[in-house]
Amino acid sequence: MTKKMKRRDFMRTGAVAGLTLAATKDEVAGFPMILKQSTVKPLVISSANGNRFKNGGDVTAVSKAFTMMTGGADVLDSVIAGVNIVELDPLDDSVGYGGLPNADGVVQLDSSVMHGPKKRAGAVGALEGVRTPSLVAKAVLENTDHHLIVGKGAQDFARDMGFKIEDDLNTENSRRKWLEWKRRTDPEHYLDPKKRADAGHKAALQMLAAGLLREENMHGTINCDAINSKGEICGVTTTSGLAWKIPGRIGDSPILGAGLYVDGAVGAAGSTGRGEANLFNLCSFVIVEEMRRGAHPKDAGMEVLNRIKNNTIEKRLLNARGLPNFGITFYMLNAKGEYAGVTMYEGGSYAICNENGPQTLKCDALLTGRPSD
């Protein structure tokens, strides 16, 4: 005779059935098992410009990505469609079309994409003539055995894939700002490299103080990551890079583990801000690894910000307080749907979109004051 199941046994059985046990060989080595919920509340997270620019339409990047994703579209396709809005919007001169150019007045763009479920990635660097580098990065993921293509090779690849190649991605706004920068630096432009770099940085800070540039222009980027109800995680980062950079300079955005890192079983992290600091510390990878060990996204991000602070020792990169004289921000979500935005100094913000709609939230900061204090 079959015994009746006790209520507590039924509840225990139901709870176990609602979880997927993601145990790996790591358990043997003493690592904890990961209990992954079978359903997750969908979420999109991005840098603040992901809830600001609309390219003449009525939706922002995070809204577009969330609507597509919850409608059944692939998560990577959704976040790319979201950042395409920013890439194409000439009003955001830190990304894509109309992004602030390099020292020679040429717009060079970087981007990376990662697909968590498929465990695939693609990236492009120093790409000229294509307004949507994120789509070219996706083409690298889909059509090659490579992860990163740069420079003329990236443009040739884009042309082969059918992308329109334009002679110049400057807008009237980006060209005017570049000419202003040239006007301020030209008297010293051909001195020794240190003086040239100092003159260029000083001119950029003067333009920032005069209101000609926004803070994010200095290291402008958009990162956008998302998780759907199935727990599938994808991400994209795209940028026009550091304003007035040395031609050919590639920052953190197209580098896997720096500007973007996704592990479909753990989470995603991306960044905006000083790319060189992110490259040196491979921050996005470290954040995901911290989350793998059980850290909340906020704690993982703070750990990396503190690492950047401790690894910044060059005098030229320190302010009067002996702290980093630059900003950097991270955007993170984990496989549970938990998320955070953290930044080096107070005042930063980030964007999300969930069932409550798009929102711009305040970042948690490691340090008080401003980078220039």
Give residue 202's pLDDT: 67
Give residue 334's pLDDT: 98
Active-site amino acid positions:
221
Give residue 345's pLDDT: 97
Position 120: which residue type?
A: R
Q: Is the distance from CB of 113 to CB of 127 less than 8 angstroms? A: no
Give residue 28's pLDDT: 41
CA dist 42 and 207 (Å) reads 40
Beta bridge partners of 343: 329, 365
Q: What is the DSSP letter of 324?
A: B
Fold designation for 36-174+210-367 = Glutamine Phosphoribosylpyrophosphate, subunit 1, domain 1 (3.60.20)
CB-facing half-sphere around the CA of 78: CA atoms within 13 A: 28
Give residue 363's pLDDT: 98
> Would you kindly state where each structural domain of the chain is located, as residue ranges?
36-174+210-367
Give residue 36's pLDDT: 47
CA dist 62 and 352 (Å) reads 6
- pLDDT, tens digit, for every residue of 259-280? 999 999 999 999 999 999 999 9
Q: Are strands 148-150 and 120-127 parallel, antiparallel or unpaired?
A: parallel
Give 198-244 as a DSSP string: HHHHHHHHHHHHTTSS-GGGTT--EEEEEE-TT--EEEEEEE--STT
Low-confidence ranges of the chain (pLDDT < 50): 1-37, 188-191
Q: Is 0.85 surpassed by the pTM of this model?
A: no
* Tokens coding 243: 């304003």
CA triplet 10, 16, 19: central angle to 5 degrees? 145
CA dist 7 and 164 (Å) reads 64
Beta strand extents in the chain (DSSP E only): 19-22, 34-37, 43-47, 109-115, 120-127, 148-150, 222-227, 233-239, 260-263, 267-273, 328-334, 339-345, 349-354, 357-362, 364-367
